[in-house]
A and B are shown apart, each in its own frame.
Chain A
């Protein structure tokens, strides 16, 4: 009698079964995310109704009914308003944006000289893109060109007055040119300065510490509008007669120092999050202060505060609009200024202009935000969850 071993040993892995049909596909996704409970269903219905109410109107206004070309207000006004559109028409006046596009980009920068900011913009993009892509080699050279050579080149090209280029006063600059120049200089100055201030504030040297604390607390305690306003209205009265600082330069310095004070507190937050052991470990290796900070502490601290840093950048990018109170016209300032042109005064002008400005601001801020998320993921080596 032969004995049979009835025990069953499975020698190969069971194949993974596909998920039950109730958990697959569009239907399951809808069930899980949209109509999982009575509450969810109600919210979904409200959401759909809202989208159905707003979206067709928005698309109709922004695209289908929009007026894309035209030379004056008549193209964007209804017959009753003295224009050519049928009564009851409501659409975006992109013709206004189109006609004023050069101004929105460059302000009153002379039309014949506009190739100069365009050239700077091309170089800016050409140097920025390889700097942002981690795989591209020669980061050091790229950074020197971007942060060192480009600003100097851009300064001489934009201001002019040398190499036979006509001088273009900064009072003629405007639009996106001003927004981006202020932001770039603000970002490039505020980050290093902010780091130095943060280190100074945590320094054991009493005078350095006191100076940093005084600077940070003073600048953070004053609204940016006040700083700009003081620089533009009060400063000329204090300066000797016949001497006046360039208004744009005043705004540039004001914005940079202001952003640096905020940046230093963001960086300080990162420094405080680094455990004491890291400092002591660096000390035990015999590293000096700058080596310790540069090699051990700051790389970890800055990585932690990337969201805070980018937050400050984005905040500053949008704060540049405040320079319009000292009659410098950034993108938003120029757009609003052009509402006063009687040749384009229609009910649609202001809406279209503001939507355009909002879109451009959003484009830049969203870009910065996405890139910062990418950097965070790339550098997230130690604390992955």
Chain B
């Protein structure tokens, strides 16, 4: 037993790892050589392990983009899977540098919890999926009067549902379950006609249904769930790096810079493209931010632009096949808009 006791003491000594909780996150990150990124414990399309155990998804790719901006290498990132309860503590205590974990941006989190959200990488909201066989001809949530709706109990989803039907003067019968897995099973078994939860989740659930083709996700979104990455308050430099990494992803898409053509684009005649890619003479855009001047080139080489990231993880290139919708660029009728990089 003595040996085990010594072993445990040794483990305790090695377990005391210094982590970065001081103000200059960029210096700490550069010193340790990687970014510690908080992701979810598994959400299809946002952060989920692939066959090799590597994290894939929009949230995981965003952290790779930040690593590419800082180090010029998108692989210099370590992921910490966090439960919903742990995520804010982990960021506050300095265990992670960026929280990129499908977290909804709210005023309370921005102020009371001491976070700074950098932007919205995915505009989500509560949506409806219907069984088209049982509700033929329905193509809008406003036609759902009298339907049986499956919903998880004790969530804001349940409250939003009640509000929505009340405001639109419609009747519905709720079919309520404690666990999300029970809701899935009940819906698949046909105990209700409608399933409601976050719209991005509905696409993932549809893949696990017996006959996905019979189920339609309706276009209406009845609540605002802007999901985005967050950093700690009190470190403006780091906040700017993460925020402008997000904007750079958008700007690259707007200018048509992709993973495939980024090298050619460097020699483009378009002054805006040259400026963004750091090809202007005497440019100080990158160095003022605290990174190298070819930071956008590095980001795009690592993960592509925002559109590529979206299509690969949740869009047409993935099994989820979520349409861009309001996540399209502002030039295409969506909400994704980046201030100019100049």
Contact = CB atoms under 8 A, between A and B. Distances in A.
Contact of B188 (A102, A152, A249, A347): A347
Interface string A62-105: 00000000000100000011100000000000000001101100
A244 B78 CA distance: 17
B95 A244 contact: yes
A115 B67 CA distance: 29
B41 A342 contact: no
Given A244-B93, A326-B86, A346 B207 contact: yes
A140 B136 CA distance: 75
Interface string B50-88: 111100100000000000000000000010111101100
Interface in A97-125: 99-100, 102-103, 107-108, 111
B208 A108 contact: no
Interface stretch (B160-168, B209-217, B244-252, B279-287): B209-217
B174 interface: no
B212 A341 contact: no
A252 B4 CA distance: 12
Nearest to A240: B21
A147 B94 contact: no
Contacts of A283: none
Which 9 pairs across A and B sit closest by C-beta, in order of nearness?
A: A246-B15, A340-B42, A148-B3, A345-B207, A340-B48, A236-B93, A342-B44, A108-B53, A337-B42
Nearest to A175: B53
A233 B15 contact: no
Contacts of A245: 12, 15-16
A148 B5 CA distance: 10
Interface stretch (A49-57, A185-193, A199-207, A259-267): A185-193
Nearest to B48: A340
A252 B92 CA distance: 24
Interface in B1-32: 1-4, 6-8, 10-12, 14-22
A367 interface: no
A149 interface: yes
A227 interface: no
B86 A151 contact: no
Contacts of B204: 340, 342, 345
A336 interface: yes
A343 B319 contact: yes
B318 A342 contact: yes
B187 to A, nearest CB: 12
A94 to B, nearest CB: 14
Interface of A: 73, 80-82, 99-100, 102-103, 107-108, 111, 147-149, 151-152, 155, 159, 161, 169, 171, 185, 188-189, 192, 229, 232-233, 236-237, 241-246, 249, 252-253, 324-327, 329, 336-343, 345-347, 349-350
Contact of A192 (B1, B18, B56, B209): B1
Contact of A329 (B3, B81, B93, B94): B81
B81 A81 contact: no
Nearest to B81: A327
Contacts of A161: 14
Given A242-B19, A340-B49, 7 more contacts: A151-B3, A152-B3, A236-B95, A237-B93, A243-B19, A249-B11, A350-B181
B319 A345 contact: yes
A56 B237 CA distance: 64
B161 to A, nearest CB: 24
Contacts of A107: 53
B319 A338 contact: no
Interface string B310-322: 0000000011100
A338 B48 CA distance: 7
Nearest to A193: B1
B175 interface: no
A350 B86 contact: no
A120 to B, nearest CB: 13
B291 interface: no
12 contacts: A80-B211, A82-B319, A148-B4, A161-B14, A171-B78, A185-B4, A188-B4, A244-B17, A249-B15, A336-B42, A342-B207, A345-B208
Contact of B83 (A103, A237, A325): A325
B45 A338 contact: no
A244 B94 CA distance: 9
Contacts of B21: 241-242
Contact of B49 (A326, A327, A338): A338
Interface centre among B19, B52, B56, B207 (most CB of A within 10 A): B207
A81 B21 CA distance: 47
Residue in B15, B44, B83, B181 whose Cβ sees the most chain A Cβ within 10 Å: B15
Contacts of A324: 41
B4 A147 contact: yes
Contact of A108 (B20, B41, B49): B49
A100 B65 CA distance: 27
A57 B297 CA distance: 56
Contacts of B89: 233, 236-237
A366 to B, nearest CB: 26
B43 interface: yes
Contacts of B19: 242-244
A346 B207 CA distance: 6
A241 B3 contact: no
A265 B261 CA distance: 69
A336 B90 CA distance: 22
A118 B171 CA distance: 59
B320 A342 contact: yes
A183 to B, nearest CB: 14
A73 B44 CA distance: 13
Contacts of A241: 21-22, 93-94
Contact of A326 (B3, B15, B83, B212): B83
A155 B42 contact: no
A4 to B, nearest CB: 83
